[in-house]
Chain A
Amino acid sequence: MRPREPIADFGSAVARELSFDPRLARRLRAEVEDHLHEALEDRGDPHGENRLAEVMCAFGDPRAFARQFLATAMLSLARRAAAVTALGVIGMFGAMEARAVWYGWVNWPVSDHVRAANAIGHPVDRFAFALAAAFALSALAYVITRRAPARFYPTFGWEIGFCIKLNAAVALALMSAMVTELVLTGVRLFEADLDARALVPFVSLMLEIAVAGGSMSYILIMMSRCSRALRLAP
């Protein structure tokens, strides 16, 4: 057997263990493969199977190797999740404000139906958005104050899980705010003449849907990656 195949297999094993963080997995796979090839060349007889086994033994087990990155990789996942949901809250706020300013600027007519819908919808919308902002701030503060330990321990896994759940709460609250806005803007647009003035509410609503949907999808991906990462935990 040529040495390249076992080394590639070793690299694949490392990448598989780190599949919860594809960027890190790709990088480490290339680094590990380069390392093993060079170590083999250094020891002479690159086609000798004993040499190959010796090189791999000196490097260590792929799972144990991958485990050393678990704490930092999980913290990085949590930080990315917190950053994305925080950006989601800002994006949502921008879209909502832009629409409100536009309604005032064009003197958008407010019918009784719209007024009635707003009376119920606005408090719900505000509450959901305030909740999202509060959770996002808490998640950010929580994740910023965490430090990756040298070795992963179960409590750290719980802390990262808690942070991801906080971000899931942000995404859920953003979804609720978005659905309320969808209904309120829908009522408004339904009753108005659809001309160029409707473009701003329509585009801002699309933006909100994209932001809330994007945040939710991202958090679901992070949750799945986190649970995959925890399988590597000792």
Chain B
Amino acid sequence: MEGEMLKGHLDMIVLAAMVDRPAHGYGVIQEIKRRSGGAFDLPEGTIYPTLHRLEKAGYLASHWTTAESGRKRRVYKMTRRGERALSDHRTLWQRFADAVGGLFGEKAHAPARTHR
């Protein structure tokens, strides 16, 4: 999928990937890949500015933990505000998808116009 197209919806994609459980940066990327069936394969470094931005906006909270490997790990968790934002995004997206679907559907069934 086009990178630019994805970037415009990255906040929503990241929030959606974290809806079930807290995750660290790499975990979020893996979850996005898994749930999109590999369609969303972002450059891995692009996820961190989004995570930091969402945290600053109060949609995520984060803390340090120690991974099984013994490494320091920053884990992000969705906040109530984040849940509300995701719900709003979902509604908006549904409306948009319905509208675009309608347009495409109309176009597919409409007779071809000719300009003379």
Interface residue tally on A, bucketed by range? 20 to 34
Taking a contact as CB atoms under 8 Å apart, the answer to whether A69 and B25 are in contact is no
With A31-B74, A34-B26 known to touch, is A72 a contact of B56 (CB < 8 Å)?
yes
Given contacts A27-B74, A38-B26, A59-B44, 17 further A-B contacts (CB under 8 A): A28-B48, A30-B64, A30-B72, A31-B24, A31-B25, A34-B24, A34-B72, A35-B24, A35-B25, A37-B69, A41-B69, A60-B43, A68-B45, A72-B49, A72-B53, A72-B56, A150-B7
Complex Cα–Cα for A32 and B72 (A): 11
- Residues 53-68 of B, flagged 1 when their CB comes within 8 A of A and 0 if not, give 1001000000010010
Taking a contact as CB atoms under 8 Å apart, the answer to whether A64 and B24 are in contact is no
- Residues 51-95 of A, flagged 1 when their CB comes within 8 A of B and 0 if not, give 000000011100011001100100000000000000000000000
Q: Which of B33-84 contact A (CB under 8 A)?
A: 43-46, 48-49, 52-53, 56, 64, 67, 69, 71-74
Complex Cα–Cα for A150 and B6 (A): 14
Shortest CB-to-CB span from A11 to chain B, Å, is 11
Measured CB to CB, the nearest residue on chain B to A14 is B45
A-B contact pairs, 19 of them (CB 8 A): A30-B64, A30-B72, A31-B48, A34-B24, A34-B25, A34-B71, A35-B44, A37-B69, A37-B71, A41-B69, A59-B44, A60-B44, A64-B45, A65-B45, A65-B48, A68-B48, A69-B49, A72-B53, A148-B53
Most buried by A among B26, B43, B56, B71: B26
With A28-B48, A69-B52, A72-B52 known to touch, is A59 a contact of B43 (CB < 8 Å)?
yes
Complex Cα–Cα for A184 and B69 (A): 64
Interface residue tally on B, bucketed by range? 20 to 34
Taking a contact as CB atoms under 8 Å apart, the answer to whether A39 and B26 are in contact is yes
Residues of A within 8 A of B64 (CB): 30
Shortest CB-to-CB span from A65 to chain B, Å, is 4
Measured CB to CB, the nearest residue on chain A to B27 is A38
In the A-B complex, list the 8 residue pairs whose CB atoms are closest, starting with the nearest.
A60-B45, A68-B49, A65-B45, A59-B44, A38-B26, A35-B26, A59-B45, A30-B72
Measured CB to CB, the nearest residue on chain B to A62 is B45
